[in-house]
Amino acid sequence: MKLQKILNSLQKLHPKEIDLSLDRIKKLCKKLGNPQDNLKYISVVGTNGKYSTIQAIRAILKDANINCNIYTSPHIQKINERFVYNDQEISDENLSKLLTEVEEINGGQPITYFEILTAAYFYNAKNFKNNINLLESGLFHRADACSIIKSNLASVITAIGLDHLDWLPKNKRTVDQIIFEKTSSLLASKIIISKQSSNEILNKIKDSIKENPSKKLMFSSDFNYSLNENGFFYYEDKYGGLKLPLPNLEGEFQLSNISTAIATIRNIEEINISDQNIINGIKKIKSIARFSEIKKGKLKDLVKKNKIYIDGSHNPLGASVLCKHLNSLECNKHIILGMMSNKNHVEYINYFKNKITSFTTVDIPNQPNAINGKDLMKKLKNLKNIQYKKSIKEAINSIDLKDNDIIIITGSLYLAGEALNLN
């Protein structure tokens, strides 16, 4: 209750949810003693794959007994997920104390919710100076609160595509502008570029960072992987090849994120890991709502022997990746869909057209910026076998499941969190 009270208070410090500027967080961090300085960072920017890449790095570092702190957003089930120190989520009590202290130091000055959370993360991270901070940039890196750091060990660029266009000027709602926002101001250290959806995107990224003096490592040319049908995959870079077990994550698309994580760690001289750390680590990656199977719980009980998955994809690039994986599964697929209002609903769902057995749109509770499930169904009226149900539970119960059919709850990280809480 105390934690929720302070969170409610922080949300009232600025009239806008997002206000792309660095002035406010810089002023607050100066009051806090600039805790963001003199820490070790691996920065991760991009549209999709940031979370999975960070979790893969985290798992490998943990196996090597290298402590890390992690800052990500948004959270799925509880805000504590955003504040990880020494590989442990912060407790409610400690988070309440931290946010209360930072709010008092801020002194009522206007600052957005995300900005003051970011400042609070830095303020506590200074207590773990020897740890590596895995830092996920939020909306757009160039004006993102996480970009106020002055140095890092490496910058990782995950897959980039169209998303959050409503925060850009109408005449700049293009992938070119997104690439500029995310990559043009990266620090000079090392830049590791993950697999992109096309050579066109990759070439645009190369052009954006061509003046950056960082050492640049790119998927395919500097590191790569190949999948073997016998339960393992090969990773290869200038240091040699590794025969690796398949990770504890479903979907070949995860291998590019994991390969990027491996390339990042193997190219930072300050980090000393062994091949065995990599082998052990990728079998222990923690993943929430990234095509994650629910294996037990209340929602699982509803589907009995059938499988049910949660996936937080919410943009066309995510839909493309999810659809490719679903196409590799020989079974009927039923999608339960809930989305935020500012997403490109039609483009997202067009990837699944004529490939999914049924669609059920639902409301996302407690999210005023979500599109109503009925309205979403109307926008997707050209789909075959589409219906609306108010809740996830009603949607699951309405689906006529046959043997081996699967259900995928997708379209929003907020919907994923709701499903996990229900479960």
Residue 193 lies in a domain: yes
| Neighbour tally for 290: CB within 10 Å | 27
The whole-number pLDDT of residue 253 equals 83
Tokens at 209, concatenated: 């960072």
pLDDT for res 114: 94
The CA distance from 366 to 372, in Å, is 12
Residues 369 and 391 in one domain: yes
Rounded to whole angstroms, how far apart are CA atoms 257 and 255?
5
Mean pLDDT of the chain: 94
Q: What is the mean pLDDT of residues 92-108?
A: 97
Structural domain span for residue 382: 292-422
Amino acid at site 275: D
| 121 and 23 within one domain | yes
Task: Look up residue 178 and give its two tokens.
Answer: 């997104």
Instruction: Look at residue 286 and tell me if it is in a domain.
Output: no
Indicate the SS3 state at residue 332: coil
Residues 128-144 have a mean pLDDT of 89
The pTM of this model reads 0.93
Regarding whether 299 and 254 lie in a shared domain, the answer is no
Is residue 270 pLDDT above 80, yes or no?
Answer: yes
Tell me the C-alpha distance between 152 and 241, whole Å.
27
Same domain membership, residue 305 and residue 234: no
Between 271 and 163, where is the model more confident?
A: 271
pLDDT beyond 90 at 409: yes
Q: How confident is the model at residue 151 (pLDDT cuts 50, 70, 90)?
A: very high
Amino acid, single-letter form, for residue 266: R
**DSSP state, 412?**
-
> Same structural domain for residues 331 and 265?
no
Which domain CATH number covers 400?
A: 3.90.190.20
Structural domain includes residue 210: yes
Residue 287 counted as domain residue = no
- Position 140 scores a pLDDT of 74
Beta bridge partners, 178, equal none
Kindly state whether residues 109 and 162 are assigned to the same domain.
yes
Three-class SS state of 1 = coil
Asked if pLDDT for residue 336 goes beyond 90, the answer is yes
If asked whether residues 296 and 273 sit together in one domain, one would say no
Q: Which two tokens stand for residue 287?
A: 């993943």
What's the rounded mean pLDDT across residues 341-370? 93
When divided into structural domains, the chain yields a total of 2
What order of strands is seen across the sheet that includes strand 68-71? 88-89, 84-85, 68-71, 132-136, 40-45, 154-157, 190-193, 215-218
Q: In angstroms, rounded to a whole number, what is the distance separating the alpha carbons of residues 257 and 245?
A: 15
* Alpha helix (H) residue ranges in 232-285: 253-266, 275-281
Q: What is the side-by-side strand order in the sheet with 406-410?
A: 292-293, 307-310, 406-410, 333-337, 358-361, 386-388
pLDDT of residue 289: 87
3-state secondary structure of 75: coil
pLDDT of 165 reads: 65
Please check whether residues 254 and 307 belong to one and the same domain. no
pLDDT at 143: 84
**Helices 199-208 and 175-183, axial angle in degrees (round to 10):** 40
Q: What is the pLDDT of residue 269?
A: 93
Cis peptide before 74 (omega within 30 of 0): yes
At 218-257, the pLDDT tens digits run 999 999 999 887 889 999 999 999 999 999 888 888 999 9
Instruction: Give pLDDT, residue 208.
Output: 96
DSSP 313: -
As a whole number of angstroms, the distance between CA 70 and CA 58 comes to 8
Tens-digit pLDDT profile for residues 152-185: 999 999 999 877 666 677 887 888 888 998 999 9
Least confident of 179-183, 391-395, 408-412: 179-183
CATH number at residue 249: 3.40.1190.10
* Angstrom distances, CA of residue 337 to CA of 94, 323, 333, 412: 36, 14, 13, 8
Q: Are residues 236 and 338 in the same domain?
A: no
- Confidence (pLDDT) at 124: 98
